[in-house]
Structure 1
Amino acid sequence: MKPEHRDLVLRACGASSLRVGAKIQTLWSGYGEIVRLHLEGCDRPSVVVKHVKFPEEAEHPGGWNTDRSHARKVRSYQVETHWYRSYSTDGSCRTPVCLAACSQGDEMLIVLEDLDVAGYDQRRTSVKDGEIKACLRWLAHFHALFLGATPEGLWPVGTYWHLETRPDELEAMRGDAELKAAAGDIDGKLDACLFKTVVHGDAKLANFCFSRSGGDVAAVDFQYVGGGCGMKDVVYFLGSCMEERECEERVPALLDYYFAELKQSVKNDVDFLALEKEWREMFAFAWTDFHRFLLGWMPGHWKINRYSKRLTKEVLRKLKL
């Protein structure tokens, strides 16, 4: 660890010394790592540090090593740093507290509260109904908190698969010419929503940290946070933890739960009936938008299934009316 990074952490936490602990994960395409630091001489036993170091040559698992891809990743870490420095949430949609951040040359450092110490020390690769609802509750409160907010300093349109930032993947699409031709119209429908919020942008199961009981969660990884329709987060989350048969059987009730939580969370002056009507109509469009991305990015992905194809057919039919 560089001396200047060590000094930054010690000053931010009021610690007398630190010890580098275990690596939590390597960042996507080899752009750095997330590590836990153990502290002495302060009231925090540990912090988590996201250390970004832009590689000379990225190693993307899908082969998408382009200048555009690199520029998008650089921008994503700039957005995440700005998010942690400038935005905050409340206990209903918990995120780690940012203790310090710095950027110099090809390196960035974000020092975060250790969510394990805060009681969110559980990770899930599969979830039960109550845990799915905990994540949907987090999303509902998050979307309500930022409803109508301008995504200043964030992505103008959130999510990592946004069409404007993914022309290469669109060009690579094969086998579904109708969807490829309709990609702009689908993106336009989502962008034309009257009710917009700030979306997490990468709300997959792996980015939620659970309490011991599984009934409460906190979220991490805000590289693609930005403006948009809340359904983008909801469809991406549901698709990250349920297979096609589960989606067919469970999505309607889970959507009802999300909207019930959203209704309790939005301000009184919001026309909730209009909001719910619009976002329910956008559910299939948001799902199809991500399906479009996958077909170009990784056409063999397990999320390309009959449920996604059915929703895509519905959307394409609606666009013709």
Structure 2
Amino acid sequence: MNAEYRELILKSCAATSLRVGAKIQTLWSGYGEIVRVHLEGCERPSVVVKHVQFPAETDQSTDLSHIRKVRSYQVETHWYQNYCTNPSCRIPTCLASCSRGNEMLIVLEDLDVAGYDQRRSSVGDKEMRACLRWLAHFHSLFLGRVPDGLWPVGTYWHLETRPDELEAMDDAELKAAALHIDKILTNCHFKTIVHGDAKLANFCFSKSGTEVAAVDFQYVGGGCGMKDVVYFLGSCMEERECEKRVPALLDHYFSELEDAVDKDVEFAALEKEWREMFAFAWTDFHRFLLGWMPGHWKINRYSKKLTKEVLHKLQGAHSKVEVNEGK
């Protein structure tokens, strides 16, 4: 870490000295790293630093993957600089950020110090409900909010940003319906800001597992809240668990959402629309997986069942249009 970055961290935390500690993780595709930095002479014992380093040899003008990643870090920086949440949907406080050439730096509150020091590779009902509560409060907080400076449509698998994966799909029927499914999700009446990458690995738990905070806001943007919900549930459970547990967990999410939304929101209409969007959101992610990694474990019977239901609905709607036009 160079002297300029060290000075930025020291100044932002009013610290007298620092020591770069262990690497928490390497960023996707080797685009930098996240490290813990230990501090002296201030009230914070440590901070977490996200240091992004773009590869210089990449052809930035033509590489869609690179362009998407660069934009994602710009969005994340804007998010931390301009948006805030509340204790019901806790995120780390951004202490400083900067951008220099092919590098970006984000200095964040250390959630371990704040009491969210547990990570889970598998979870039970208690932890899943805590994450769904976080999502419900997050979606409630930003309901109707325009995603200024963020992705117009959130999530990393959004169809417009994934033309290569769409082209690679073998499922001709789903490929033909992909744009229609995307439009249905994008044009839903009740919109919010979605986390965009709400997998289990991006939640930090308290020791009890009943409180959570979320990290990684590279793909935060506008959309239907069901996109986060289906992605989270799919990251926690295999197909048999989904069959058994999704209905009750979905009920829990909507119960938390009803408690959190403003009283002037027409909640019955919101719940009706978003429940209808559940299968469409799941199918949308299934579409991405089929083009990105056809052998992925999330491509299972539960996903195929929901996709079949969605395609059947679309076919039925198309048939009704044809009948009406023929009258």
- TM-score normalized by structure 2? 0.95
Tell me, what secondary structure is at the counterpart of 2:79?
A: helix
Q: Deviations over 1:205-231 (max 9, x none)?
A: 000000000000000000000000000
| Distance in 2 of aligned mates of 1:248 and 1:50 | 38
Q: Deviations over 1:262-292 (max 9, x none)?
A: 0000001100000000000000000000000
Q: Which amino acid aligns with 1:254?
A: L
Q: Which runs of structure 2 are paired with 1:235-274 in the superposition (5 Å)?
A: 235-274=230-269
Aligned to 1:159: 155
Q: Which runs of structure 2 are paired with 1:35-184 in the superposition (5 Å)?
A: 35-56=35-56, 67-174=63-170, 176-184=171-179
| Distance in 2 of aligned mates of 1:57 and 1:47 | 31
| 2:218 maps to which of 218, 223, 230 | 223
Cα deviation, residue 56, structure 1: 3.3
Runs of 4+ in 1 over 4 A off after TM superposition: none
Q: Deviations over 1:157-210 (max 9, x none)?
A: 000000000001000111x10000000000010011000000000000000000
| Distance in 1 of aligned mates of 2:297 and 2:216 | 23
Aligned to 2:319: none
Contact 2:136 2:254 in 1 (8 A): yes
Q: Which runs of 5+ in 1 are unaligned?
A: 59-65
Matching of residue 283 in structure 1 with residue 278 in structure 2: yes
Q: Which amino acid aligns with 1:186?
A: I
| Distance in 2 of aligned mates of 1:268 and 1:253 | 24
Tell me, what secondary structure is at the counterpart of 2:50?
A: strand
Q: Which amino acid aligns with 2:32?
A: G
| Distance in 2 of aligned mates of 1:276 and 1:110 | 36
Aligned to 2:17: 17
| Distance in 2 of aligned mates of 1:178 and 1:57 | 38
Tell me, what secondary structure is at the counterpart of 1:301?
A: coil
Contact 2:53 2:104 in 1 (8 A): yes
Structure with bigger gyration radius:
2
Aligned to 2:195: 200
Cα deviation, residue 116, structure 1: 0.1
Q: Which amino acid aligns with 1:31?
A: Y
Tell me, what secondary structure is at the counterpart of 2:72?
A: helix
Matching of residue 4 in structure 1 with residue 8 in structure 2: no
Q: Deviations over 1:114-166 (max 9, x none)?
A: 00000000000000100000000000000000000000000000000000000
| Distance in 1 of aligned mates of 2:301 and 2:172 | 18
| Distance in 2 of aligned mates of 1:315 and 1:139 | 24
Contact 2:127 2:210 in 1 (8 A): yes
Contact 2:26 2:32 in 1 (8 A): yes
| Distance in 1 of aligned mates of 2:270 and 2:247 | 17
Q: Which runs of 5+ in 2 are unaligned?
A: 317-327
Cα deviation, residue 43, structure 1: 0.2
Cα deviation, residue 55, structure 1: 1.4
| 1:303 maps to which of 298, 306, 309 | 298
Aligned to 2:31: 31
Tell me, what secondary structure is at the counterpart of 1:47?
A: strand
RMSD: 0.7
- Report sequence identity in percent: 81
| Distance in 2 of aligned mates of 1:296 and 1:263 | 36
Tell me, what secondary structure is at the counterpart of 2:160?
A: helix
Cα deviation, residue 57, structure 1: 5.2
- TM-score normalized by structure 1? 0.97
| Distance in 2 of aligned mates of 1:309 and 1:55 | 38
Q: Which amino acid aligns with 2:180?
A: D
Cα deviation, residue 320, structure 1: 1.1
Q: Deviations over 1:50-107 (max 9, x none)?
A: 000001357xxxxxxx700000000000000000000000000000000000001000
